[in-house]
């Protein structure tokens, strides 16, 4: 009997050993199998998230212009000549041409800065005839002309001998050639006619004949003047299809 039982006992022990190893392997593999997908879920979720798109920057504005001045620039304007005076009583200013080809990106400088002159006594927000101040504001630029032949202007150009001028300026400088090239500033005038037209919708007492013209080396009666080569450049650049305007005034007024 003892001889027969020993193999049987060994056989049963072997079965228990095999079964125990299988159960242990199953128990141990289950947590590892669960941990595998769980640990990989984090990176998978993060990598599938859509990248954030940075917001588009706001359109660029013309520097040194305040909200009131900017609001006066028509929405259709794509060119702006900005004449900034040194001070309310100064007759010296700086001119920069800005262009807005894409409203989404805004304004960018395309010419200048150029030294310029304005009215002898500076600037005013209520221009009157013979006050020797340039009017502050935003005005259209629709018409051009001059004593000399058209240099390639895009605006309608009136070549007329009556643009001739003589005499002396405030500093004794000769005025000859000052109106060789002009661009009418639409202050108290009718657009679509020669700069020489003297129609004054606001009345004669509010002055008129405010132009961009050739600089003669001194202050003006109320116009803004630039060197002759700069006037030619403007005439070849200002495009009626871009609805050009001039923004003009002393620096403090333009910041409002």
Pull the structure tokens for residue 122: 């500076």
Question: Which residues have CB under 8 Å from 230's CB, separation 6+?
Answer: 95, 114
Question: 129 φ, ψ to 5°?
Answer: -55, 135
Q: Which of 203, 103, 64, 194 is nearest to 211 (CA)?
A: 194
Pull the structure tokens for residue 200: 């004054």
Spatial contact of 210 and 223, defined as CB atoms under 8 Å apart: yes
- How far is 88 from 90, CA to CA, in rounded Å? 6
- How far is 135 from 90, CA to CA, in rounded Å? 13
213 catalytic? Reply is: yes
Query: Which member of 117, 213, 216, 243 is catalytic?
Result: 213
Burial class of residue 173 in the structure, from the number of CB atoms within 10 Å of its CB (0-12 exposed, 13-18 middle, 19+ buried) = middle
Query: Which member of 117, 127, 216, 223 is catalytic?
Result: 223
Spatial contact of 235 and 151, defined as CB atoms under 8 Å apart: yes
3-state secondary structure of 106: strand
Q: Which of 111, 112, 119, 65 is nearest to 92 (CA)?
A: 119
223 catalytic? Reply is: yes
What residues act catalytically?
213, 223
């Amino acid at each position: 009997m003892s001889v027969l039982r020993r193999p049987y006992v060994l056989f049963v022990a072997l079965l228990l050993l095999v079964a125990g190893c299988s159960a242990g392997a199953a128990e141990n593999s289950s947590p590892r199998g669960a941990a595998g997908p769980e640990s990989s879920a984090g990176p998978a979720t993060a990598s599938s998230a859509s990248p954030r798109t940075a917001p588009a920057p706001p359109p660029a504005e013309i520097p040194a212009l305040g909200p009131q001045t900017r609001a006066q620039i028509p929405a259709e304007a794509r060119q702006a000549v900005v004449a900034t005076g040194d001070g309310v009583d100064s007759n010296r200013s700086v001119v920069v041409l800005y262009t807005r080809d894409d409203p989404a990106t805004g304004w960018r400088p395309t010419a200048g800065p150029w030294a310029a002159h304005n009215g002898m006594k500076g600037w005013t927000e209520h221009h009157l005839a013979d006050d020797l101040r340039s009017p502050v504001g935003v005005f259209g630029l629709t018409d051009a002309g001059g004593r000399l032949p058209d240099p390639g202007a895009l605006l309608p150009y009136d070549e007329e001998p009556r643009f001739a001028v003589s005499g002396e300026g405030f500093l004794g400088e000769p005025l000859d050639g000052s109106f060789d090239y002009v661009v009418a500033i639409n202050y108290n005038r009718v657009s679509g006619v020669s700069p020489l037209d003297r129609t004054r919708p606001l009345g004669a007492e509010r002055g008129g004949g405010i132009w961009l013209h050739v600089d003669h080396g001194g202050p003006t009666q109320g116009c803004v003047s630039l060197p002759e080569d700069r006037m030619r450049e403007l005439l070849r650049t200002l495009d009626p299809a871009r609805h050009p305007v001039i923004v003009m005034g002393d620096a403090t007024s333009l910041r409002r």
